[in-house]
Chain A
Amino acid sequence: MIDKDKADDDIDLNDYKIEDLKTSKFYKSEQEIPDELRNSMKKVGIEVDSDKSGIFLQSGNKPDLCVSKVQGIELMPLKEALKIYDGSDGKLNLQDYFWKAVSSDKDKFTTEAAINEITDGYFIHALAGQKTIFPLQSCLFIPPFPGLKQVVHNIIIAEPGSQLDIITGCTAHTGAKSAIHLGVSEFYAKKDAKISFTMVHNWTETTKVRPRTGIILEENAKFSNFYVVMSEVKNLQTNPSIKLIGKNASYFGQTLIYAKGESYYDIGATAHLIGEGSKAEIISRVLAVDNSHVIARGKIIGDGKDVTGHIDCSALLLSPTARVDSIPAIVAQNPEVTLTHEASVGKISDDHIEYLMSRGLTEDEAINLIVSGFLDVDTSPLPPSLAEETKKIIDIVSKSEMG
């Protein structure tokens, strides 16, 4: 039975406000970013001064900074992009991508984002054949404004043969009491395009979070998705939908959660394998301590010929009052599909601890070694520079969160 109190389905969006947007500032360059914001960004591993192909920063509901440094990779606030890409003079018509990967009437959160005219987000567009060398950075920040609702809508398009590496951090100021983050992200990877996306969340124990992500993959498109949350949160629910419509499209998703305090997470991913030979892998690692409760879902629907899918959820419980529900689901709608899943939920076995103790480790050292091994995720599906960055972030975040 799902804990009603923590699940908190009845969020009333009228309880939240959007800040006065007239007072927000727009910085022209990285140098202008105030230290406070800079430090918050560091918590999600984003270093403003390092080599990047571009950077987008938004506090609350208005972009603060948007710098694009690479030819052929466009990065701009979504509102601005909507004006430019109107389909005129043979240009892209952004309306064709608006609410196509995520449906606007999916739930009250998407509805809120759809009717909300004043909020913004980012638009990233890789032109055909273009590649990012260093990852693009984006950071969404909830300022110290109690009861704030941050509503973000992002659209990411990778044209045929392009390659996009993106690293996104979402974080809240410790003074952002009882805020809510609604983030809609729509990804489109066209033929032979490749998107690698690392997202790091760092919330507070009062933040509620509702990311709504949709991904559409065309022929031979590849998507690698790394999602890391290691902070407390009040309540976070997300379940990205991935539609692999093209032949041989592939998706790899890895989620890493360190749940503590009273946090409640309901996280998952749903992959729909439609294109012939498409494949999806959904992996999650959950470490649950204190009174946290995590529901780890994964669902793969196999429709196309010769599609393959695999779900792997493993969870370690380090406290007697933590709870993890692992819910993998595989649905075959075609006899020529191969879908598998494995799941394991439990505490660290005494055998493992005692084995390591017989090499002289104390009990705590043995547990730490096993836990750090559990968190040492395989970043090899990511391009080298993003893989390195992702490893570094997991390292920084786990050190600061786990002490």
Chain B
Amino acid sequence: MNNILRIENLTVRVDNHQILKDFDLNINKGEVHVLLGPNGAGKTTLIKSILGFKKYVVESGKIYFKGEDITNLSISERVSKGIGVLFQHPPEINGVKLSKLLTVCDQKRNMFTKETTENACDSDLDEYMDSLAQRLKFSKDYLERDVNTGISGGEIKRSEILQMMVMQPEFLLFDEPDSGVDVENVEIIASIMRELLDRDKVPSKQEKSGLIITHLGYILKFLGHITRAHIVMDGKILCSGNPKQIINGVMKNGFEKCRECISCIDSTEKLEEVDFTL
């Protein structure tokens, strides 16, 4: 299988606290994985380490993207290779209009994908925004506001989604795309995520890959096929497996039980259809 992201033995320190310890993760091309875990487990830390944020110091271990060691590359170099991210808490950037940032994202995508022919928006960026405005239910003056400034949780997710729609990365990291979003909007966001991740295509045509972080699970109901789920606690993956089994187990027993691992995903246990509705 074609490997897209491989994390080997990654130990990450933040402000002198070890947050990730000997972390391993493997995602192949076309796969979408889900990472579940309680607050403070280290999920966001993992995302920022994959991207190479300064405060997240890699003490040991390696990160490979498409087989290439990216552990020591800058954020922009990593992103230029096809990584995209939707942040949980993006900062407010005064003075920079969202429309301006989207234009820059568009230029960057053109630069990064010089050779690739398939672009979701090789038409005019303006027209593309018009069509997205309808789907995502925002008015165009929303684009003239400063990035993430003085807007609601749902609007922040929209702004992040828009940037991803323009960048169309090969591999996407979603950090809690559903937190602080009401039920109706979760469905809208999920439908866009499905598109970004090629989930509506037949499996052989699913080129995009991703890692979705959530601690609710509700959004998964709308995302189509998920390859694998992992439970992360205290900076380590405690359990990996079939998404439905894993989520069933967490919902039945809670995360705390994972620490003592009660083998809730016993393979002899009969699989029930999961009701993701919480």
Binding site for B on A (CB under 8 A): 349-352, 354-363, 365, 369-370, 372-376
Contact = CB atoms under 8 A, between A and B. Distances in A.
Interface of B: 51, 53-55, 74-76, 79-80, 85, 87, 90-91, 93-97, 100-101, 104-105, 108-109, 111-112, 146, 163, 167
A370 B96 contact: yes
A3 B74 CA distance: 39
A293 to B, nearest CB: 23
B91 A360 contact: no
Contacts of A375: 95
B93 A357 contact: no
A373 B53 CA distance: 23
A369 B76 contact: no
Contact of B105 (A359, A362, A363): A359
Q: Indicate the member of A350, A351, A372 with the most B CB atoms within 10 Å.
A: A351
The 3 residue pairs across chains A and B that have the minimum distance between CB atoms = A373-B95, A360-B108, A357-B75
Contacts of A360: 76, 79-80, 105, 108-109, 111-112, 167
29 contacts: A351-B91, A352-B91, A352-B93, A354-B53, A355-B87, A355-B90, A357-B74, A357-B75, A357-B76, A357-B79, A358-B75, A358-B79, A358-B85, A358-B87, A359-B79, A359-B108, A359-B163, A359-B167, A360-B105, A360-B112, A363-B74, A363-B76, A369-B101, A369-B104, A370-B93, A373-B93, A373-B94, A373-B100, A376-B95
A370 B92 CA distance: 11
A360 B74 CA distance: 10
Q: Indicate the member of A355, A362, A365 with the most B CB atoms within 10 Å.
A: A355
Contact of A373 (B96, B105, B167): B96
Given A354-B54, A355-B87, A369-B100, A362 B95 contact: no
A353 to B, nearest CB: 9
Contacts of A359: 79, 101, 104-105, 108, 163, 167
Contact of A361 (B90, B97, B108, B146): B108
A194 B108 CA distance: 45
A369 B93 CA distance: 10
Contacts of B163: 359
A369 B51 CA distance: 20
Overall SS of chain A's interface: helix
A369 B96 contact: yes
A88 to B, nearest CB: 54
Given A354-B53, A370-B96, A373-B96, A361 B91 contact: no
Contacts of B55: 350
A360 B3 CA distance: 22
Nearest to B81: A360
B12 to A, nearest CB: 15
B51 A350 contact: no
Given A354-B54, A374-B94, 9 more contacts: A350-B55, A355-B93, A356-B101, A358-B51, A360-B76, A360-B108, A365-B104, A373-B95, A375-B95
B112 to A, nearest CB: 6
A376 B76 CA distance: 25
Nearest to A354: B53
A368 to B, nearest CB: 10
Contacts of A350: 54-55
Nearest to A377: B95
Contacts of A369: 96, 100-101, 104
B76 A362 contact: yes
Nearest to B96: A373
A110 B177 CA distance: 62
A348 to B, nearest CB: 10
A363 B52 CA distance: 13
Contacts of B112: 360
Contacts of B54: 350, 354
A358 B163 CA distance: 11
B81 to A, nearest CB: 10
A350 B53 CA distance: 9
Nearest to B107: A360
A269 to B, nearest CB: 22
A374 B95 CA distance: 5
A362 B97 CA distance: 18
A358 B56 CA distance: 14
Contacts of A373: 93-97, 100, 146
Nearest to B163: A359
B210 to A, nearest CB: 15
A361 B80 CA distance: 9
Contacts of B87: 355, 358
Contacts of A361: 76, 104, 108
Contacts of B85: 358
Nearest to B54: A350
A355 B91 contact: yes
A113 to B, nearest CB: 38
A370 B167 CA distance: 20
Contacts of A356: 93, 101
Contacts of A376: 95
A360 B169 CA distance: 11
